Amino acid sequence: MTAAIRMQLAPGSAVTIPDVSWQEFESILEELGQKRTTRIAYSQGTLESIAPLPEHEIPKDLISDIVKMLLKAKDIKYQPFGSTTFKRQGLAGVEPDACFYLQNYQQMIGHDRLQPDDPPPDLAIETDVTSKTTLDAYEAIGVPELWVYDSGNLSIYLLRDGTYIKSNTSPNFEDIAITQIIPAAVECSWQVGSFQALEELEAMI
């Protein structure tokens, strides 16, 4: 199964495999290892493997930098956990582009790997992914807030009673028009570069 994933995944493509057991999912993660460009999502027996396009990296890094800048400006302490593989035993697994612990940041300081009783991150970020498998996985893991950037738009999903609902605002940044400033900053970065785009945004806020 892993060989099939490796062979078919050119940049920008995805492979969805149904009827994958939890044991098979764990074996696939182990065989693929950590040093890979593909990203995995697993929920309700469906495995999805995605190979991001090269241009995926710029929005991913920029949005992560914007979150750090906004958290610092609001004096909110955080612990970033990057693209760590988060799992809920037997149910779901997912690898965000970036994620942040806010409420539980202190608990996660010094962790070099996740423990079974560790909480999910408070905020996760995905770019160019809108599949049901991915959203279901985040719901199962219990991530309170998920941002999905796709095709120039940012969607905010908030977990309510175990299900995501779309929101126009982020509870962590209620006074900031996140869904407007992030797409504008990404577009600006294509014109002037990420450094200047961040500088311009910082001056604006």
pLDDT, tens digit, for every residue of 9-40?
666 678 889 999 999 999 988 888 776 778 88
3-state SS of 78-123 is CEECCCCCEEECCCEEECCCEEEECCCHHHHCCCCCCCCCCCCCCE
CATH architecture for residues 54-204: Alpha-Beta Complex (3.90)
Query: Quick one: what percent of the chain has pLDDT higher than 90?
Result: 69
The mean pLDDT of the chain is 89
Q: What is the pLDDT of residues 126-147, one digit of tens each?
A: 987 667 778 999 999 999 999 9
What is the residue extent of each domain of the chain?
Answer: 54-204
Q: How many residues does the chain have?
A: 205
